[in-house]
Structure 1
Amino acid sequence: MVRIMLVDDHAVVRSGLRMLLESKPGIEVVGDAADGDEAIRMALQIKPDLVLMDLSMPHGKDGLTATAELKKLLPDTAVLILTMHDDEEYLFRSIQAGASGYILKSAPHEELLAAIRSVSQGDAYLYPTATKRLMNEYMERVRNGDGADSYEQLSEREKEVLGWIAKGYSNKEIADRLVISVKTVETHKAHIMEKLGLKTRPDLVKYALKKGLLTFDT
């Protein structure tokens, strides 16, 4: 059961989200808040698994500030940004604040539910055009001569494992694809995190996205 808290300054939006989510198995809405200040107070009390966070809230703390504070106070609580802003700056600032996902309010319900499942399982989620933007940003850095970093410290096998992690495959699925043991995958993952200075699986996914390690259908 995924325990979710809703944060949005519009009561109608919170009510609609609650109705949608509570109609789905495996999801429980444990609270809702109208601004960042209320969200932080409530989250400290109920400790949700996931916070569905709006960005633009005119009263109290905005979504970015609230996300950053929540991740410091409750690092195990995932934050999924749900916003109307299809904007590169908001996207990057949300990732920097510690959000594990970013999805638009205009997205279909099925995509929102997929994002919730992904983030609640410890993975990262970005809507497709956002992912392409991260790729484009990295490619621009490469063209400007700013692309070399600790990625080159990885072995070819570690780069391969990182790529599969970024695509959302579990350790078992990666092991099956590469015909190695799950323990070996876990060892590779640990080495990757150490070399890149990362701590969690979502961090690895975000890094891979920024590096442009994913391929997309055109």
Structure 2
Amino acid sequence: MLMDGDECRRTGRYGEAMAPIRVVLVDDHEMVLHGVAAMLSRFPDRVQVIGTASELPRAVRAFTDERPDIVLCDVRLHRASGLDVCKAIRDVDARAKVVFLTVYDDEQYLYQALRAGASGYLLKRVDAHELVRHLENASLGEIVIDPILAGRVAVSAAHLEKGEFWPGARLGLTQRESEVLALLVAGLSNKAIAARLVVSDETVKTHLRGLYRKLAVRDRGGAVAVALREGLFH
């Protein structure tokens, strides 16, 4: 069982005590930075927050100055993307470990993060014990992925192995974009779609922008027209 603080020390392969993982936090919301730092402070013998940043230049500077074991970063930031932060940090040191901690449960963000060289992709619903355990695994070289996304990706891979595709796959839509389009066809509002898929309104808007671009349309009506014309949903 995982224990808080001094009750559980990190040990190596042969049982020797190990130094705490040194972490830099990157998020454009000060409340989130304070919240995650407070969460991790419960485990001082396992994790130490040694710096924070809210934008790309400061994140790179913090990494260069502090050389943390892990950079824990949101996938979306003001004026930049967490993906840009990951690439910039790994340009400084290709061995750098960046783990994303975000609300965006979209497989496409996960794929982009892994292509950028990330060591993990976790959702902000993770509890303190799980987060510390994931950071420890990432520090040992593992790729850590939130179980919800890992399960979804596994199911998608299994379907692809069988040659089964979701509606809209042939038009370039992701499985989640196809789900959003189906709910558009059903007449649901953005807020209703968010509630149905248990995601944020902003996540729905991101999916809509993606499917509009792929379907070469400008609005909901155009997307629905393409879906009906192509016989995507019955």
What TM-score comes out, normalization by structure 2 length?
A: 0.58
Task: Tell me what 2:28 maps to.
Answer: 9
Do residues 88 (structure 1) and 73 (structure 2) align? Answer: no
Task: Tell me what 1:138 maps to.
Answer: 157
Higher relative CO (Cα under 8 Å, sequence separation at least 6) belongs to 1
Report which of the two structures shows the higher radius of gyration computed on alpha carbons: 2
Task: Tell me what 2:48 maps to.
Answer: 28
Between the aligned partners of 1:111 and 1:12, the Cα distance in structure 2 is 20
The DSSP-based 3-state class of the residue aligned with 2:76 is coil
Tell me which of 64, 69, 72 is aligned to 1:49: 69
Tell me which of 76, 79, 88 is aligned to 2:98: 79
Q: Point out where structure 1 has 5 or more consecutive residues left out of the alignment.
A: 146-218
* Residue 31 of structure 1: how far off its partner (Å): 0.5
**Structure 1 stretch displaced more, 134-143 or 113-122:** 134-143
Between the aligned partners of 1:142 and 1:68, the Cα distance in structure 2 is 31
Between the aligned partners of 1:74 and 1:13, the Cα distance in structure 2 is 26
The DSSP-based 3-state class of the residue aligned with 2:48 is strand
Task: Tell me what 1:120 maps to.
Answer: 139
**Amino acid paired to 1:54:** D
Between the aligned partners of 1:3 and 1:20, the Cα distance in structure 2 is 14
Q: Is the 8 A contact 1:49 1:76 kept in 2?
A: no
Between the aligned partners of 1:136 and 1:38, the Cα distance in structure 2 is 38
* Residue 22 of structure 1: how far off its partner (Å): 2.4
Task: Tell me what 1:169 maps to.
Answer: none
Q: Point out where structure 2 has 5 or more consecutive residues left out of the alignment.
A: 1-19, 165-234
Between the aligned partners of 2:76 and 2:155, the Cα distance in structure 1 is 26
* Residue 21 of structure 1: how far off its partner (Å): 1.3
Taking structure 1 as reference, are residues 144 and 72 closer, same or farther at Cα in structure 2, changes over 3 Å only? farther
**Amino acid paired to 1:84:** V
Task: Tell me what 1:206 maps to.
Answer: none
* Residue 62 of structure 1: how far off its partner (Å): 1.2
Between the aligned partners of 1:123 and 1:7, the Cα distance in structure 2 is 21
Task: Tell me what 2:121 maps to.
Answer: 102
Identity of aligned residues (%): 30
**1:63-78 correspondence runs (5 A):** 63-78=82-97
Q: Is the 8 A contact 1:102 1:126 kept in 2?
A: yes
What TM-score comes out, normalization by structure 1 length?
A: 0.62
Q: Is the 8 A contact 1:102 1:127 kept in 2?
A: yes
Residue deviations 1:37-86 (CA, integer Å, cap 9, x gap): 21012211211110000011113x21011112212322222111000001
Task: Tell me what 2:200 maps to.
Answer: none
Task: Tell me what 1:214 maps to.
Answer: none
Between the aligned partners of 1:20 and 1:129, the Cα distance in structure 2 is 21
